């Protein structure tokens, strides 16, 4: 282990930026778990990095002389940050030879399990894996999964509040199938890929929103920003089957879930499902935009993504377009929306949620 890499100094010198940069404020693009993981990088490793947040691990691997760094990464924003910060094209792990993996533990246990199996499917002999995360984000569930799929699990001392486990991942041909979730009241069977938002249970905010879908206009074009498994678009399609639907999400698991859910429930729908950061780069205008905004990026709680989505939505609206937002009342998005739009109306609310209709 390199003691130098345990300090933040080498990361500071890399001048890494978070993405989206405007959300960064005082947040830096790496943490003590990255520093700890980086201390195990060896020059001769055939390295796979899982969940590199903004490219800190990739950049450090280049600095250590590693020839090729492969990735398993769900997030469009992280993938974009890795490419920007390292000036390289991200290469996905698809079963290439590997001798070592560094895992930044994801929040979702099912995503960790799917990622470990993706790696285990491609190896023919055990591979050394280092797992780390800040201790407040690491649970017994993470450790149980590591023990389930790995041998020789060792606990290394916690450093600057970063946990570390070393283990040998066993080869495996096991695969995780999407979770089929029946929604009888909508006559839908959702297909949820590991790690997608609301994987096991419909979000109560989405449910409240759908209960009020009779108020939505009949639109020709509809954007669903942060679509998750596509639930909102599927519910809209049931009422307005002729609408052209455009779904966007920064999570690969969401994109795959939405694709599978549309294929399983309404394969004839006119739908495009795109992996990207909100509506960045979209020049089309939509008659209707639906948003159930996220309130965190990885483990950081933030309203910045929601506000970015609203700003992006405005660019994609004409004079008669409607933006509908469902949100936790306590987040008070009404105030943010009023700064951006002329007309903001409360269409429904209960003790927890509010549904807002917004026009330019």
Q: How far is 216 from 300, CA to CA, in rounded Å? A: 32
Using the rule CB under 6 A, is 195 a contact of ligand SAM? Answer: no
Q: Taking CB under 6 A as the criterion, which residues in 143-182 touch ligand SAM?
A: none
Residue from 11, 131, 149, 197 in contact with ligand SAM (CB under 6 A):
197
d(CA 41, CA 56): 12
Residue from 34, 250, 256, 336 that binds ligand SAM (CB under 6 A)? 250
Whole-angstrom distance, CA of residue 305 vs CA of residue 166: 34
| Contact status: 62 vs ligand SAM (CB under 6 A) | no
Rounded to whole angstroms, how far apart are CA atoms 11 and 5?
8
248 touching ligand SAM, by CB under 6 A = yes
Using the rule CB under 6 A, is 227 a contact of ligand SAM? Answer: yes
Of 198, 255, 266, 288, the one binding ligand SAM (CB under 6 A) is: 198
Task: Report the residue from 113, 199, 249, 322 that binds ligand SAM according to the rule CB under 6 A.
Answer: 249
CB of 111 to ligand SAM, least distance (A): 11
HEC readout, 3-30:
HHHHCCHHHHHHCCCCCCHHHCCCCCCC
251 near ligand SAM (CB under 6 A): yes
Kindly report the backbone phi and psi dihedral angles of residue 343, in degrees, each rounded to the nearest multiple of 5, phi listed first: -120, 115
Nearer to ligand SAM, 74 or 128 (CB): 74
Applying the rule CB under 6 A, the residues between 288 and 347 that interact with ligand SAM are 292, 294, 305
Question: Smallest distance from the beta carbon of 250 to ligand SAM, in angstroms?
Answer: 4
If one counts every other C-beta atom within 10 angstroms of the C-beta of residue 312, the result is 20
Q: Would you give the distance in Å from CA 10 to the centre of its chain?
A: 27
Work out whether 260 is an interface residue with ligand SAM (CB under 6 A): no
Distance in angstroms (rounded) separating the CA atoms of residues 12 and 32: 12
Indicate the residue among 110 and 292 with the shorter CB distance to ligand SAM.
Answer: 292
Q: Are 68 and 41 in contact (CB under 8 A)?
A: no
**Residue selected from 34, 113, 128, 277 as contacting ligand SAM according to rule CB under 6 A:** 277
Segment lying near ligand SAM (by CB under 6 A), choices 45-53, 150-158, 246-254, 329-337: 246-254
Q: Are strands 188-192 and 179-183 parallel, antiparallel or unpaired?
A: antiparallel
Query: How many Cβ atoms from other residues are within 10 Å of residue 115's Cβ?
Result: 25
Binding site for ligand SAM (CB under 6 A): 77, 197-198, 203, 206, 226-228, 231-232, 248-251, 254, 277-278, 292, 294, 305
């Amino acid at each position: 282990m390199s003691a130098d890499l345990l300090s933040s100094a080498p990361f500071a010198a890399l001048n890494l930026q978070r993405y989206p940069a405007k959300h960064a404020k005082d947040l830096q693009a790496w943490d003590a778990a990255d520093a700890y993981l980086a201390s195990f990088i060896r020059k001769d490793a055939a390295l796979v990095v899982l969940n590199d947040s903004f490219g800190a691990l990739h950049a450090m691997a280049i600095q250590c002389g590693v020839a090729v760094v492969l990735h398993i990464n769900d997030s469009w924003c992280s993938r974009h940050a890795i490419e920007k910060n390292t000036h390289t094209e991200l290469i996905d792990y698809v079963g290439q030879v590997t001798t070592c993996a560094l895992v930044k533990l994801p929040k979702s246990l099912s995503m960790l399990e799917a990622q470990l199996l993706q790696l285990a499917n491609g190896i023919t002999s055990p591979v050394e894996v280092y797992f780390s995360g800040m201790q407040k984000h690491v649970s017994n569930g993470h450790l149980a999964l590591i023990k389930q799929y790995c041998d020789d699990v060792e606990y290394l001392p916690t450093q600057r509040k970063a946990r570390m486990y070393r283990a040998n991942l066993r080869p495996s041909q096991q695969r995780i199938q999407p979770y089929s979730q029946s929604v009888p009241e909508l006559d839908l069977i959702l297909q949820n890929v590991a790690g997608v938002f609301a994987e096991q249970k419909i979000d109560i905010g989405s449910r409240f929103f759908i209960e009020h879908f009779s108020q939505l206009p009949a639109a020709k074009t509809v954007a669903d920003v942060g679509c998750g498994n596509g639930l909102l678009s599927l519910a809209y399609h049931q009422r307005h089957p002729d609408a052209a639907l455009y779904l966007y999400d920064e999570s690969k698991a969401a994109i795959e879930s939405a694709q599978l859910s549309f294929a399983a429930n309404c394969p004839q729908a006119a739908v495009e499902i795109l992996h990207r950061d909100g509506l960045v780069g979209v020049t089309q205008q939509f008659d209707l935009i639906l948003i159930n905004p996220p309130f965190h990026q990885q483990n950081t709680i933030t309203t910045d993504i929601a506000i970015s989505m609203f700003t992006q939505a405005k660019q994609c609206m004409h004079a008669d377009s409607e933006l509908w937002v469902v949100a936790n009342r306590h987040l008070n998005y009404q105030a943010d929306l009023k700064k951006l739009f002329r007309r903001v109306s409360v269409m429904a609310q209960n003790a927890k949620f509010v549904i807002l209709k917004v026009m330019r």
